Amino acid sequence: MSLPQDCLVGKVPFLARFNDWASDCTIVTLEKKEEPMSEKEYDFERAEQGAVTKPSSGKTRITIRIDTDVLDWFRQQVHDAGGGNYQTLINEALREHMQYRDETLENVLRKVIREELKAAV
């Protein structure tokens, strides 16, 4: 239902009510007061720049490209577990790999030293 032309008076209507049983209508207008920002109100002299939240200690933010299928696998693991953070899961996997590599290197070094000691005797 449209309002009669004589009811459309004033600024852009915010709310319009029209009564079918009467010939009158009420237009409520919303006028926005346009004022420039006050320099006193918005003083950014002592504002800090940077991220809104501080990064956790011991963490470094990087950009890395990971194959889509690998990332999807980690995300699916988190989803299947009922929630969590896939980035934490990736971090744990990398730590486990580091530990494995260190243990493997240690075992190889021990083997070489044993062989060298056996050959020297």
Q: Does the CA dihedral 110-111-116-117 come out positive or negative?
A: positive
On whether residue 113 sits in a domain, the answer given is: yes
On whether residue 50 sits in a domain, the answer given is: no
On whether residue 38 sits in a domain, the answer given is: no
On whether residue 80 sits in a domain, the answer given is: yes
Number of domains comprising the chain: 2
Check residue 60 and give its pLDDT: 87
9 CB-near residues (< 8 Å, 6+ apart):
27
Q: Which domain holds residue 23?
A: 1-32
On whether residue 5 sits in a domain, the answer given is: yes
- Provide the mean pLDDT of the chain: 76
pTM of this prediction? 0.46
3 pLDDT above the threshold of 70: no
On whether residue 56 sits in a domain, the answer given is: no
Binning the chain into helix, strand and coil, the percentages to the nearest 5 are: 40, 10, 50
21 CB-near residues (< 8 Å, 6+ apart):
none
